[in-house]
Structure 1
Amino acid sequence: MAITYNDSERSFKLDTPKSSYVFKISPTGYLLHLYYGAYVPESDLDYLRMRLINASFSASVASPEEKGLSLDTAAIEYPVNGSGDFRVSALSIRGDNGSSVTDIRYASHRIYSGKPRLEGLPATYTNSDDEADTLELTCRDALTGAEVVLVYTVFTKLDAITRSVRVTNCSDKPFDIERIHSMALDFTESDFTLMHLQGRWAKERTLVKRHLQFGLQGIQSKRGSSSHNNNPFIALARDGYTEESGEVYGFSLVYSSNFEACVEVDCMRSTRVVMGINPVDFGWRLEPGESFTSPEVVMVFSAEGVGGMSRTYHKLYRYNLCRGEWKTKKRPIIINNWEGTYFNFDEEKLYAIAKDAAELGIEMLVMDDGWFGVRNSDNCSLGDWYVNENKLKGGLKSLVDRVNSLGLKFGIWFEPEMISPDSDLYRAHPDWCLHVDGRDRSIGRRQYVLDMSRADVRDNIFEQMSAILSSANIEYVKWDFNRNLTEVGSALLPPERQRETAHRYMLGVYELLERLLTAFPHLLLEGCSGGGGRFDAGMLYYSPQIWTSDDTDAMERLEIQYGTTLCYPPSAMSAHVSASPNHQTGRESSFKTRGDVAMAGAFGYELDLTKLNDEERELVKKQVADYHKYYDLIQNGDYYRLINPTEDKANPTCAAAWESVSADKNEVLLTYVVMRTQVSVSRYIRLVGLDPEKIYVDEATGRRYSGALLMNAGLNLTGSWHDGESKVWHLVVSC
């Protein structure tokens, strides 16, 4: 098995193909971390224990067996609050005595094949039990009666380990969880660069790097979603790393609400990482016999740089997180009407777009915001999910049937979690939105947020959505979420449970998503949150593709898509060709470049097709044909980032480049985009991930290159380039 227990040393060893993770049980039941890194054959690593004795002002545990062990200076597997470890803790439980001092000790463990489900939560899974092994390690707090189960799953063919925590109240009195992180990890050194994905609306997931400093550093969201601002992913790269070499540790939280990823460097220059639910405004009361399960963190180790880490996440999330038939089924090329019409459309306008789409080879029409209630702007009708027959005079089925008759599939937009003050639903149920009695209700985009922790609210929305989806042949839903959560309170929860609201909200959203996909198993669901405001692993469990950003400008998308691929597979990035000048930036760019950039993900269009000229229509036909030709390579190939589009000293050519390589290394798709032209600049690009012994043929020119030549000397791109110009090379191995 990938997990072994050494009874004589009381140690656990978790092995992936290229990594090892080792910890042990101390004489009095503390869990001491020993090693996480490149694979090692040894299982007895006790000599690696941090053995600093009697460190000044660091209390020792109250046991002569531990010989002065200080929890403040040891590497602790899962640190808790108040028992002598003064660094950031992963767990804090407040007992009925009012104290938050927590002390958990090893009680038992079991190791088995396969991977358990996390009740009510998205998580990675196995397609068969031989894909993973699991360790469930049970600890107990004798005073509070808390049973704490640390769950580790090791994927046997990928360098990935997942972690989660389950707390059960085994006493006869309630207690409160004040803080519960899904994982903790201690390193003996601090020579790391912290990477994370920062942003804002229309500028999501920009890669940020900073060397670790003394003290606390990290990222969080308190917005009720993973957010545009910080993505629930971080990485630590050991000094000396590059994109394709060096040691990198990745941490990705499978959760879509408030989170925290905290890194602390202490006075001994050791480093601690914790990740999980944000403890700010969080609490959870457990009555006797009740349990609480944390979201899952996926840890990845790579000795092949940042790129190696990314490709592990890509494979795992494509095949062991995304679910349903659309995980592997070829997804349709979409035309979405939003930037083509905004709210100003009717049935005939949509049909005209669909007719052109069919002629151009596009496969699905998606009707965006504005089809329901009396909605002609964003100031009303959210929550009133019935057809606006002033726009769709023949009703929804008539439009869908007409679109289907052209050979196109049909999709539709919803924003199920929101409610407009000017809506029938709000007038009937003003208490159904999140609110705190006595406080004003903040409004964003002229809408409130429904209290999705309530079953009656979810039932109402499900019934409305189900009626629409059952009324016509609708095969796709775009699920939007256009504001952050404020006044996070629920009318149904008592005062002592109000801090549970944000997490209960997210559990409610997950329950509604699960119910919808169970009722409509063939539905393709695309996540969205004002663009990429909820682009996270939790949502990928339900929606295999997510709208990457509301900024559809090709030059802006280069940086957004670059950052997104650090953790998430290209197959998850919904990317569309939009109009020029772009509606967000006003920038003009060629139709070809817009297509080349969008083709890096789940491809589609977002403009008024009826306004295209003949040349543009021919380009659409070519792009559609190319996407079908390269589909498997783009969606399932190994992805390599070659040039970071950020304009800095590392990118003097002001360009971006990426590459997809087939698993057998017989096919390559290389894309190069010049962001800004410069005079007298040499441009060369070395490819990565090829077979050095194979001969690759440039499909366009017939020129032959060895894999060794392409990887060591590269391609010479020196010449005359224009701002925003792009080129794509398709290289195949000579038979």
Structure 2
Amino acid sequence: MHITYDETLKLFRLTAGDMLYAMGITDGAYLAHIYFGKNLPDADLTELLRLDEPPFTPSVNNRDKACYMDTLPFECPCFGLGDYREHAVEILDGAGMSTCDFRYVSHRIIPGKPGLPGLPATFGTEQQAMTLCILCRDEHADLELELRYSVFEQMHTIVRSAIVRNTGRADCRLKRLLSATLTLDGDGYDMLTLNGSWARERHVERCRLHMGKQRIDSMRGESSHQHNPFFALAEQGADEDRGVCYGLNLIYSGNFMAQAEVDQHHTTRAQIGINPTDFTWLLPPGEAFAAPEAVLVWSEEGLGGMSRTFHDLYRQHLIRSKYRALPRPVLINNWEATYFDFNEEKLLSIAREAAKLGIEMLVMDDGWFGHRDKDNSSLGDWYVYEKKLPGGLKSLVDKVRAMGLKFGIWFEPEMVSPDSDLYRAHPDWAIQVPGRELTLCREQYVLDYSRQDVREYVYGMLRDILTSADISYVKWDMNRQLTEVGSRMLPADRQRELWHRYVLGVYEMMERLVTEFPDLLLENCSGGGARFDPGMLYYSPQIWASDDTDAMERLKIQYGTSLCYPVSAMGAHVSDCPNHTVGRTTPFQTRGHVAMAGTFGYELDITKISPEDRGQIPGQIADYKRYSHIMRNGDQYRIGDPFGTAGYDAWIFVAKDKGEALFTYVQTLSRPNVRSRRIRLKGLNPESWYRCSENGKTYSGAYLMQAGLRMPNLWGDFQSRQIYLNKMEERA
């Protein structure tokens, strides 16, 4: 990694491995993007800005400066100066004017990676990272803009953020501050996005760019089931293994926008940041606003190379939990086993059977608090429902611990039920527009986490529960979006800040939780996967990927999620059949193989499943423990495509030293009268020899990747195979 500045050329070079990111300061002190891609030995890259052709620079052709502004590849384009493409920063000054003009003033290069106040952010030591801080200034508005660029050792990544400071004497309103803008030459790209809805999150869509703007976003107060704050721009024809790809991801859990715009000259402007819709932030003199970080990844090894860079970055420089590199306990969650219909004896019966089979943790899901027998009451009343647990929480936990199991518990601390003691005492604590009817969703409202008194009260209840018994795990849920976004506490001129202040309040609560309880395993959940984003990974090393636990549906969900996020972050469970979401029946073995491409656990009534299925559990757990280090720390290569028509999906995890690998094959549909398939593996050392657990034979890595393993047509739909490959010291 290296960051340099050439004073003569006014050229910044940021390198990591064989990646180069270059910027230049042009006539007028404008900061412009030059290049992002494979490292170049050339010292002078400034001619790539095309400043020697029409419309020329203002010093040569000031009569057409507006044309110059509308073509320059700005690093942080401002509103109102003649650049009519999507802008990244917009203000409203005391005179009601929205034009802003930030120009380069100075820069500094610092070792390491600074954080952001109140926001999740990547981290790195002085040996692991370097950061370029560029100071820009709008003299007329008396504002400063600091642009930060960080590079990490051997990572083909640029992490960007922006901070606006009011250095004047008058209030200013910030209307927009996107986290990153990237200009690419040409428009020969496909845009890949992760879209869906509840129970079918992060399905992959790939569309060719066209003139104009192509955008995904969220205005739900969460990153959302519908769109993930990630997109990729891939060269047309780029696939898993070949071609140039750029990935953009926002480290944020609230409203976002992500967009690619093709302009009149067929250049592409890619941007990501906080959604500017309904956003305003008051900046009094002396105050600052920090945009969340954006991650920009470059790959010349297709989508797979892009994904592996994201995975490594997040495992090494975003996830802080001690569990990021540790085996996760194999848990059983009672939700799909009992829903709200449980008591202490039912939970203990599940725990007894689980302990016999090697499961390590019992998680008590929704329904243990207040007087909650269904989902229409008690959110906000975080005290034990003694009708179900007459001995109290500690009594239950002690009994479970005596069986050799750890204990976990479910919360939904951002919500309040109309039928709750908390809401009856404090109806003003819900997010609301005074005088307007509140919109119910799942018969609950959202607490106003912009208020410190609300956060203090709720956190006090959480602390009381977590200190009352030996609890090892918390599942933090959020089951609805925001509506009627207003606060009884904020003044009128700060009401539009509530969207962002709410997210900051959630972050503060999670920060307090993991700081006070550092040994706690925190799993984020949001109605399933509505907050599967890097912001949550900063606090919780794993996120419940979806409420849909059907193995075939999970192939699509986990495939799409893996484009950006490591499998060590994907909560995945073996559930009962017929599946509770889609009614499909799949073999127990297949359910296990699919769930192992995640954190792995169970979500079923273990006391009621068939002896045949129950008998497979010890073997599944043993396999997961035997191979989880490869999945948790190794490289993932996608081989099949669950969205395609081939009738199978497949993937392989390869250890970093290429000494061992785990290959999984899932036949989604059986076929009549066909021969076997040859599945070409990926990521192995072609010169090494590997023993195959399937048949005991030894193959060269070259054979496995070029000729492939032969997979027979399996009897029945939804069948699977899992094969372990370990490198031999010499050919057997």
What's the TM-score once normalised by structure 1's chain length? Answer: 0.97
Give the Cα separation in 2 of the matches to 1:429 and 1:61. Answer: 61
Letter in 1 for 2:36: Y
Q: After superposition, what is the alpha-carbon deviation per residue over 1:132-177, rounded to whole angstroms, capped at 9, x for unaligned?
A: 1000000000111110000000112211110000000000001011
- Match for residue 233 of structure 1 among 211, 230, 233: 230
Contact 2:299 2:305 in 1 (8 A): yes
Could you tell me how far apart the structure 1 residues matched to 2:181 and 2:385 are? Answer: 51
* SS of equivalent to 2:662: strand
Q: Specify the alignment match of 1:321 in structure 2.
A: 318
The residue number in structure 1 matching 2:704 is 710
Which AA in structure 1 matches 2:653?
S
Residue pair 2:22, 2:34 contacting (<8 A) in 1 also = yes
Q: Answer whether contact 1:159 1:301 (CA < 8 A) is retained.
A: yes
Q: Which amino acid aligns with 1:152?
A: Y
CA distance in 2, matches of 1:368, 1:66: 66
List aligned pairs for 1:9-48, cutoff 5 A.
Answer: 9-48=9-48
Alignment map for 1:123-522 (pairs within 5 Å): 123-126=121-124, 128-522=125-519
CA drift of 1:68 comes to 5.1
Which of the residues 99, 104, 118 maps onto 1:120?
A: 118
Gaps of 5+ in 1: none
Q: Give the count of matched residue pairs.
A: 726
In 2: Cα distance, 1:720 partner to 1:22 partner: 52
Q: Is the 8 A contact 2:27 2:58 kept in 1?
A: no
Cα distance in 1 for residues equivalent to 2:710 and 2:34 = 48
Is it true that 1:678 corresponds to 2:671 in the alignment? yes
Is residue 21–residue 37 contact of structure 2 (8 Å, CA) maintained in 1?
A: yes
Contact 1:50 1:73 in 2 (8 A): no
Match of residue 692 from structure 1: 686
Task: For residues 498-546 of structure 1, give each alpha carbon's deviation from its aligned partner in whole angstroms, at most 9, with x where no partner exists.
Answer: 1100000000000000011111111100000111111000000001001
Decide which of 83, 86, 101 is 1:85's aligned counterpart: 83
1:680-721 deviations in whole A, cap 9, x for unaligned? 444221000110111111123211111001100101213343
Letter in 2 for 1:641: R
RMSD of the alignment, in Å? 1.3
Q: Secondary structure, in 3 states, of the residue corresponding to 1:84?
A: coil
What is the deviation of 1:118? 0.6
Q: Deviation string for 1:287-323 (max 9, x for gaps)? A: 0000000000011100100000000111111121111
Partner of 1:727: 721
Aligned partners of 2:654, 2:170: CA distance in 1, in Å?
58
Q: CA deviation at 1:71?
A: 1.1
More moved, 715-724 vs 147-156:
715-724
CA distance in 2, matches of 1:681, 1:96: 74
- Secondary structure at the aligned position of 2:460 is classed as helix
Question: In structure 1, how many angstroms separate the alpha carbons of the residues matched to 2:633 and 2:237?
Answer: 30
Offset at residue 612 of structure 1 (A):
2.5
- Matched AA of 2:250: L
Q: Normalized against structure 2, the TM-score is what?
A: 0.98
Which amino acid in 1 is paired with 2:703? L
Distance (Å, rounded) in 2 between the aligned partners of 1:326 and 1:725: 32
Tell me the alpha carbon deviations over residues 560-589 of structure 1, each in whole angstroms, 9 at most, x when there is no partner.
Answer: 000000000000001000001101111111
Contact 1:75 1:188 in 2 (8 A): no
Q: 1:431 to 1:731 in 2, by over 3 A?
A: same
User: Following the alignment from structure 1 to structure 2, what is the Cα–Cα distance between the partners of residues 199 and 96?
Assistant: 42
Structure 1 consecutive aligned stretches of length 4 or more whose deviation exceeds 4 Å:
52-55, 60-69
Q: Is the 8 A contact 2:27 2:59 kept in 1?
A: no
Instruction: Give the Cα separation in 2 of the matches to 1:693 and 1:237.
Output: 31
Aligned positions of 1:104-119 closer than 5 A: 104-119=102-117
Residue 101 (1) aligns with residue 95 (2): no
* Counterpart residue type for residue 311 of structure 1: R
**Residue 22 of structure 1 contacts residue 43 of structure 1 at CA under 8 Å; is this kept in 2?**
no
- The SS at the match of 1:559 is helix
- For 1:220 and 1:280, locate their aligned partners in 2 and report how far apart those are by CA, in whole Å: 10
Give the deviation of 1:239 after TM superposition.
2.1
The question of whether the paired residues in 2 share the 8 Å contact of 1:50 and 1:75 is answered with no
Give SS of 2:190's match. strand
- On the 8 A contact 1:28/1:65 being kept in 2, the answer is no
Mean Cα displacement is larger for which, 318-327 or 60-69? 60-69
Q: Residue 567 of structure 2 corresponds to which residue in structure 1?
A: 570
Aligned partners of 1:680 and 1:147: how far apart in 2? 70
Question: Could you say what secondary structure the match of 1:643 adopts?
Answer: coil
Distance 2:649 2:410 in 1: 33
- Answer whether contact 1:111 1:133 (CA < 8 A) is retained: yes
| Aligned-partner residue type, residue 40 of structure 1 | L
Q: CA deviation at 1:53?
A: 5.4
- Is the 1:338–1:369 contact (alpha carbons within 8 Å) kept by the matching residues of 2? yes
CA contact 1:26–1:66 (8 Å) conserved in 2: no
Return the alpha-carbon distance in structure 1 between the equivalents of residues 390 and 38 of structure 2.
Answer: 64
AA in 1 matched with 2:630: L
What amino acid does structure 2 have at the position aligned with 1:441?
Answer: L
In the TM superposition, residue 438 of structure 1 has moved relative to its aligned partner by: 2.2
Any unmatched runs of 5+ in structure 2? none
CA contact (8 A) 2:102 2:137 kept: yes
Percent identity among equivalent residues? 53
Find the counterpart in structure 2 of residue 643 from structure 1. Answer: 640
Q: Confirm whether residue 581 of structure 1 aligns to residue 575 of structure 2.
A: no
Distance 1:52 1:66 in 2: 14
For residues 635 and 351 of structure 1, the distance between their equivalents in structure 2, rounded to whole angstroms, comes to 31
SS at match of 2:382: coil
Cα distance in 1 for residues equivalent to 2:454 and 2:139: 40
- Please give the alpha-carbon distance, in whole angstroms, between the structure 2 residues aligned to 1:389 and 1:355: 22
Contact 2:667 2:714 in 1 (8 A): no
**Which segment is superposed worse, 142-151 or 23-32?**
23-32
